[in-house]
Structure 1
Amino acid sequence: MNGLGYKLLGGVCAFAFAQPALAQDSGPDQAAAERSASGPVSTSDIVVTALRRSERLQDVPVSVTALGSAALSQQRLQQVSDLAGSVPNLQASTVAGDGLPIFSLRGVSMSDFSFNQQGPVATYFDEVYKGSFPLLGLGMFDLERVEVLRGPQGTLYGKNTTGGAINFISKRPGHDSEAYLKLGYGNYNRYDADGAVQAGLGDTLAARIAFTFSRADGWFKNLMPGRPDGSAVRQYGVRASLLFEPNDKLDFILRLTTSLQNPIEYGVLGEPVGSLGIGNGVYEMFGASSYFRTGLGRREMEADNIGRHRHRTYGASLTGNWHVADALTVTSVTSYDYGRLRVIDEADGTPLRVLEADLKGRGKQLSQDLRLSSDFDGPFNFIFGAYYNIEKLWNETSAGFYSDIDVNGDGALTWEDCVDSGFAVSCIYRNNYKQVRKSAAVYTDMNYKLSDRLILRGGIRYTQDRGKVVGYRAQIEGPDGVPIVNTIPGDDPFDFDASTSARFKKGTVTGKVGVDFKTADNDLIYASFSRGYRANAFNAQAYFSPAELNVAEPETVNAYELGFKSQFLDRAVTFNGAAFYYDYRDQQAISVNSVTHIQTLINIPKSRILGAEFELTVHPVQALRINVGVGILDTKIKEGSLNGTSLRGNQLPNAPKLSASAGFDWDIVETGGGKLSWGVNGSFTSKQYFDLFNTERTAQKGYALVNSQLSYRFADDRYGVSLWGKNIFNKYYARYSLDLSGNGFDYTHLADPRTYGISFDAKF
């Protein structure tokens, strides 16, 4: 159950730092890209594949930020959620933990965090779409680069999305023998190890094996005797890649991955609201006391039911390229993924059992992307493709409310306590179901060069999405696990094997048109219109009535964008920017009827988003690199209501009006013995809301962060040592917060405190 689901059931019971210029890619431009990731190379040398072609970043007519392996290492971006501090107008909520962020890009986000939902910002690992939480394993290791595309993705990418796409691209196996190992130690008894080994296995085969391992004690101190501290780290990931090149026309890469996250769960800050404390006076009705969180520090809790988060994933993908002619290439990406996820959420962070949840999910998916690309010398080029994805999920969610109260005073916690309370206290609400989603699409992306400076671009995509939920059942149980009543389907309240189903089918056309112009100085100016959509969704928060098991309509975004990419002073300065306007329709959200308590997944009819990003990179001298970034957003809901309350005029959640950043990397001293470098980056994020109601009490005020790293590399570049610190001034801020005042508290996920450490690396 997500935080919003807690709120609904509770009512029944009572900048980001911008660094665009570090990326790399395989293929003919690989050498230049590798140089750009390791040293001060002009952004004209950066190669990305944002549009499914290898292109210079400065030639790509879309708003994209690319982070190469050096930038990822220098900024210690280890979790996917860390990207929010490095990409303009990208935010991440961590309602399910740091390893499972909910992204918001240019203000496009989602408010239903159920395991079955697929977010509006798509995540890809080596071109494989991974949408649902159980399938999202560790991916931030041994990467060539990360590319973040802003704006609707309605043509080239596997899934239609309204917000954008984030692409994680791992290092390609090569025939040269190489290896590296990086070891680190930090506060909170943190241990890190990352490495890779690569070798040629003959003229046609090459292999690469990479791994990551991290372990740390929890920083959220638990003062409950015998119970562990929260927000620990315990994870590893392994990726094996095999390259097969039988001739100069064919190449295949097989990638096999697995990961495990098994830490003590994230700590939750339960902040009392009002004078009745956490429990909202309910315990007093039965001769006990609510909880007031007295005598605790702001990163301390007394949680009795904190346990382990467990997330296991497996994946296999095969990418093949066949150069059928000098200017025609067929690309195939085939993948299979499997994942299991369990989250035990100690939602109140107290010795009481006011609100607790147990979320379980497992899923598997099979996908196929097949496309034909041209690279003609003439004015016209194209990509034609077809895509198919099938995803199968099983989910079970339970939420217990006041499950430690002996309502009838008989000395035992049983199903009778729930019944005697009128199904309000000492009850557990549970549902489970199977979901199947299928998506099939055909698409094309084309460009026509009218002159050496002017290019027309266009693309269109037809997608058919199908989905069904089967075996859906919801029950109310006692604290002893005994089922009391079947609420869904509910035809026979005592037939606990009964279930129901729902399904949808929708065909949609999306696309993009645009024009880009190269000036006499080789700067790029582009304009585009694009349309993206997010498919129908099932309501996984159905607990009381079959009427709740509804299907929301798709979201759509019509996006208008004007951007530029420029370089001057002999390419020492790169200045890129974009301005945009979004017409955002039918955003999906949960709504609850205040009288019947029936909750459904609805659509908010209309919102609008205005904004811009600017990224500046300056190399005044070879030894110094300066980066500045700014993100600006102005969001507004124009039509819509939720739970009977008008949202008109409210801001969208996770959409701060201003994010700004500045940083530098300075090679202080370079001698025959080695090189000493220092890097600092700071960011500011203005006030943001975490819900559609714009609840002031749970909003995060503006805050600033500062990170730094001091490194020394020996002359042969084989060995290095670094001292690093993140959140150096120990800023206290929330990544997510929710109003649960119906239960007497606000539910808050805190961001990491100050962390620091030392790392050593060696290349072989």
Structure 2
Amino acid sequence: MKAMKRSTLATLINATLFSAVAGTSFSSIAAENDTSAKSNQLEVIQITARKRVENAQEVPVSVSALQGDNLDAYSSAGMDIRFMNAKIPSLSVESSFGRTFPRFYVRGLGNTDFDLNASQPVSLVVDEVVQENPILKGFPVFDIERVEVLRGPQGTLFGRNTPAGLVKFDSVKPSQEFDAYGALSYGSKGSTDFEGAFGTGLTDRISTRVSVLWQDKEDYIDVKAPGFEKENSLGGYSEKAARVQFLYEGDDFTGLLNYHVRDLDGRPIAFRANLIEAGTNNINPLYDNDVVYHDAASRATQQVDTQGLSLKLEWDLKEHTVTSITAWESAEIYSRADVDGGYGNAFAPSMGPGVIPFSSETADVIPDHDQLTQELRLSSNFSGDVNYQVGVFLFDEDLTIESYSFDTGAYDAANSNFGLQNGYAVQDQSTSAWAVFGSLDYTLTDDLKITAGLRYSDDDKEFYAKRTKTPVPFTGASDFKEGSANPSDSHVSWDLSAAYKYSDDINLFARIANGFRAPSVQGRILFGDEVTVAESETINSIEAGIKSDVLDGQGRVNATVFYFQMNDQQLTAVGGGANFNRLINADKTTGYGFELDTEWVLTDELNATFNLSYNNTELSDNDLAVQVCAQCTVTNPVNSAGLAVLDGNSLPHAPEWISNATLRYSKELEGGEFFVYGDVSYRSEINFFLYESVEFKGDALFETGVRAGYAWAEGDNEYEASVFVRNLFDEQTVIGGVDFNNNTGMLNEERFVGAEFKVRFF
């Protein structure tokens, strides 16, 4: 078997994203844009959550908009997109693939499925293009102008797979003004990170911007499995990404061409056998972050190539604007890992650490993938009381997935190595979807505005899976197995919202919305014999909130309360003793909670933010039951078939509490500015799987970061030198598990210390 072909460059839109605080770009930026603004006032945040440029404080949607230099606090030195976890109210992020395949959860709603065609109820939209496949969602974030997190169903304007919410990125666009920057950092474990961009006008009407990212980390994890000892075998990566844009600006027409590419060559996340002590959720005291006991580490690899091309055309017709967005995205991945996290097994001469019932070495591959999208919309620009948007959307995706299993202890003569291939299955999936949508804004009075939206979506999948070699013939499974599915559905999504201007500084809003997720297919039949289909899930949500500017513009307090009911929620029964994923639908899921976003200018030199959310989720289905772990202590009721009954459980990876806060101090010093930035984030305990168990309950996670530096200007350039530390107190918490074999787990990132130098040219 050959690894997938590699493309030459890389695109990623990853971890430079979140200032992780509700839009903390402070007064200095605002002052540049508005010379009349007071130097100690917060910036007015402009967002495009409803596909129009609007003041975030006036939009009747629970949204956090992030922009400005505070992104540095979370994204420095090679952080991947998981750094967003618990940095935004009601948002968590996790992955069992490491730097790729992030899984997003909003208000507790997400998907734990690790198959490469897994659908998610939280959509990712980058530069107005939906990123459907989970591998596309891991693109690194760099040279980003704005990040928006929209909570609650977004089905009217953004489509079928947004019942939980939406994460939206907008990169910095070309302009006629010359602008360039470069940032270089170095940190723990030999991590090196460079990002930069260059933009300028080419002619009076054409401008360009080129953005690049390069991240590198040396392997630092030693392998100490007997007979497989090797220093510096795992933990490293080399990642490159680039984005090239060309903008044409005519009198009443603009065209934007965007090409982006990503290339990752690294190692998968380190699975650690029996990391969790039996009967507890404590980390095994023998654990060492720099050591694993894998017998397949020499073959562990993760290679990702993605690229995409989009063309946005916009015509200004005075009272109307016509927008066309045509896009192509493609992803390839080859990821192979020692999933059991140890060496040997119960049938081998030796095994460890702890009991390894059987070896598990697998590879998941996307050798071929193409996504085509087309959106065409008409927006009115009336000066009166009524405005509207109407549009059509087309989506087409073709995807091939290969799954391999290997006998770790068997010699592979063809490759002169152990790890003989002993299983193979392939999936082919084609998805076609289309939609028509419309949204109407009506100003009832000077203070009260109503918005109503409607969308009709049609979705169809063609799926075929085939296994030609089974890795478990001793169970009676045959080598050859095939299955197919052709789920389809249509749905009408809607929303109705009202925004009331209580005063110049206080806006109230209320919103009810409906959304849905299209049918999903799970056909990873490498270990199982069944292709499962999850029917469409639908959600009805109601929320109300307040958005306020206080203390004469020196403070901002936004708060939302919400309640939702989801019918036929799509869930994934991950793993279990049979090591097989199945899709299921839960009759009903309810959730309620609140979100609080605040930011403050305490003095001319001191700024702060504080954010908090509470999410309560509950499954309601008396008949819903799933397979359980091989060696853990299940706390749910277990029926006569040995399945855990899920009725009353909260959702997996759904913390009840998320909180984060930042404090930034700056002081003019010797013609420049000295600054210190501190941040803390907290998420409460979580369950890793649908069932509840002692071992697979993750403890609360509390992390602290500090950044200090000096910024100065010289000539036409600006410079900044800083040092930083993430996870200051080196808190180690189990953040995920593998339940089909032993109490294998994964950990959060350990303490990271680094230094960075930036320069910006004008």
Aligned residue in 1 for 2:7? none
Offset of 1:592 from its aligned partner? Answer: 9.4
Aligned residue in 2 for 1:135? 136
2:325 is matched with which residue: 319, 327, 333?
Answer: 333
Paired letter, 2:251: D
Aligned residue in 1 for 2:699? 701
Aligned residue in 1 for 2:447? 453
2:353 maps to 1:371: no
Task: Tell me how far apart the structure 1 counterparts of residues 746 and 511 of structure 2 sit (CA, whole Å).
Answer: 38
C-alpha contact (below 8 Å) 1:219/1:231 kept by paired residues: yes
1:380 is matched with which residue: 386, 389, 394?
Answer: 386
Offset of 1:220 from its aligned partner? Answer: 4.0
Offset of 1:594 from its aligned partner? Answer: 9.9
Paired letter, 2:380: S
SS in 2 for 1:155: helix
Task: Tell me how far apart the structure 1 counterparts of residues 165 and 110 of structure 2 sit (CA, whole Å).
Answer: 10
C-alpha contact (below 8 Å) 2:511/2:543 kept by paired residues: yes
2:714 maps to 1:723: no
Specify whether residues 599 and 351 from structure 1 end up closer, same or farther in structure 2 by C-alpha distance, changes over 3 A only.
Answer: closer
Aligned residue in 2 for 1:680? 678
Correspondence list, 1:371-410, <5 A: 371-400=377-406, 403-404=408-409
Paired letter, 1:649: G
Paired letter, 1:464: D
2:365 is matched with which residue: 354, 360, 365?
Answer: 360
Task: Tell me how far apart the structure 2 counterparts of residues 465 and 210 of structure 1 sit (CA, whole Å).
Answer: 35
Q: Which segment is superposed worse, 626-635 or 694-703?
A: 694-703
Correspondence list, 1:206-355, <5 A: 206-223=207-224, 224-226=228-230, 228-245=232-249, 247-271=250-274, 296-306=287-297, 307-325=300-318, 327-352=319-344, 354-355=359-360
Task: Tell me how far apart the structure 2 counterparts of residues 699 and 294 of structure 1 sit (CA, whole Å).
Answer: 18
Aligned residue in 1 for 2:744? 747
Offset of 1:229 from its aligned partner? Answer: 3.4
Correspondence list, 1:113-124, <5 A: 113-124=114-125
Question: TM-score, structure 1 length as denominator?
Answer: 0.85
SS in 2 for 1:691: coil
Offset of 1:365 from its aligned partner? Answer: 0.6
Specify whether residues 587 and 761 from structure 1 end up closer, same or farther in structure 2 by C-alpha distance, changes over 3 A only.
Answer: same
2:660 maps to 1:661: yes
Task: Tell me how far apart the structure 2 counterparts of residues 582 and 63 of structure 1 sit (CA, whole Å).
Answer: 14
Offset of 1:130 from its aligned partner? Answer: 0.8
Specify whether residues 176 and 591 from structure 1 end up closer, same or farther in structure 2 by C-alpha distance, changes over 3 A only.
Answer: closer
Offset of 1:99 from its aligned partner? Answer: 2.7
Specify whether residues 428 and 555 from structure 1 end up closer, same or farther in structure 2 by C-alpha distance, changes over 3 A only.
Answer: farther
Correspondence list, 1:542-581, <5 A: 542-543=525-526, 548-581=530-563
Task: Tell me how far apart the structure 2 counterparts of residues 751 and 597 of structure 1 sit (CA, whole Å).
Answer: 24
Offset of 1:673 from its aligned partner? Answer: 1.9
Aligned residue in 1 for 2:9? none
Task: Tell me how far apart the structure 1 counterparts of residues 195 and 580 of structure 2 sit (CA, whole Å).
Answer: 49
Paired letter, 1:258: V
Offset of 1:636 from its aligned partner? Answer: 1.0
SS in 2 for 1:395: strand
Task: Tell me how far apart the structure 2 counterparts of residues 309 and 426 of structure 1 sit (CA, whole Å).
Answer: 19
Task: Tell me how far apart the structure 1 counterparts of residues 573 and 181 of structure 2 sit (CA, whole Å).
Answer: 52
SS in 2 for 1:570: coil
Task: Tell me how far apart the structure 1 counterparts of residues 700 and 619 of structure 2 sit (CA, whole Å).
Answer: 22
C-alpha contact (below 8 Å) 2:665/2:677 kept by paired residues: yes
Task: Tell me how far apart the structure 2 counterparts of residues 39 and 157 of structure 1 sit (CA, whole Å).
Answer: 37
Q: Which segment is superposed worse, 693-702 or 596-605?
A: 596-605
Offset of 1:159 from its aligned partner? Answer: 4.1
CA distances 1:139-192 after superposition (whole Å, capped 9, x unpaired): 401110111111111111144311111111100101112211111111111111
2:735 maps to 1:735: yes
SS in 2 for 1:486: coil
Task: Tell me how far apart the structure 2 counterparts of residues 340 and 611 of structure 1 sit (CA, whole Å).
Answer: 38
Paired letter, 2:608: I
SS in 1 for 2:83: helix
Task: Tell me how far apart the structure 2 counterparts of residues 229 and 592 of structure 1 sit (CA, whole Å).
Answer: 29
Offset of 1:642 from its aligned partner? Answer: 2.4
Task: Tell me how far apart the structure 1 counterparts of residues 262 and 412 of structure 2 sit (CA, whole Å).
Answer: 42
SS in 2 for 1:309: strand
C-alpha contact (below 8 Å) 1:413/1:479 kept by paired residues: no
Offset of 1:426 from its aligned partner? Answer: 9.8
Offset of 1:23 from its aligned partner? Answer: 6.3
2:509 maps to 1:526: yes
Task: Tell me how far apart the structure 2 counterparts of residues 70 and 49 of structure 1 sit (CA, whole Å).
Answer: 20
Paired letter, 1:241: Q
1:20 is matched with which residue: 15, 19, 22?
Answer: 22
SS in 2 for 1:254: strand
Specify whether residues 620 and 597 from structure 1 end up closer, same or farther in structure 2 by C-alpha distance, changes over 3 A only.
Answer: closer
CA distances 1:350-374 after superposition (whole Å, capped 9, x unpaired): 2337111110013111101111111
Q: Which segment is superposed worse, 299-308 or 334-343?
A: 299-308
Task: Tell me how far apart the structure 2 counterparts of residues 597 and 710 of structure 1 sit (CA, whole Å).
Answer: 47
Offset of 1:382 from its aligned partner? Answer: 0.8
Paired letter, 2:463: V
Aligned residue in 2 for 1:419? none
Specify whether residues 596 and 759 from structure 1 end up closer, same or farther in structure 2 by C-alpha distance, changes over 3 A only.
Answer: closer
C-alpha contact (below 8 Å) 1:178/1:199 kept by paired residues: yes
Paired letter, 1:121: V
SS in 1 for 2:617: strand
Paired letter, 2:50: L
C-alpha contact (below 8 Å) 2:24/2:609 kept by paired residues: no
Aligned residue in 2 for 1:13? none
C-alpha contact (below 8 Å) 2:221/2:232 kept by paired residues: no
Task: Tell me how far apart the structure 2 counterparts of residues 412 and 192 of structure 1 sit (CA, whole Å).
Answer: 38
Offset of 1:596 from its aligned partner? Answer: 10
Offset of 1:207 from its aligned partner? Answer: 0.6
Task: Tell me how far apart the structure 2 counterparts of residues 99 and 596 of structure 1 sit (CA, whole Å).
Answer: 26
Question: TM-score, structure 2 length as denominator?
Answer: 0.85
SS in 2 for 1:81: helix
1:689 is matched with which residue: 659, 677, 687?
Answer: 687
C-alpha contact (below 8 Å) 1:81/1:100 kept by paired residues: no
Q: Name the % identity.
A: 26
Aligned residue in 2 for 1:4? none
2:427 is matched with which residue: 418, 433, 438?
Answer: 433
Specify whether residues 211 and 295 from structure 1 end up closer, same or farther in structure 2 by C-alpha distance, changes over 3 A only.
Answer: same
Offset of 1:603 from its aligned partner? Answer: 0.7
Paired letter, 1:556: T
Specify whether residues 670 and 244 from structure 1 end up closer, same or farther in structure 2 by C-alpha distance, changes over 3 A only.
Answer: same
Task: Tell me how far apart the structure 2 counterparts of residues 372 and 304 of structure 1 sit (CA, whole Å).
Answer: 58
Aligned residue in 1 for 2:162? 161
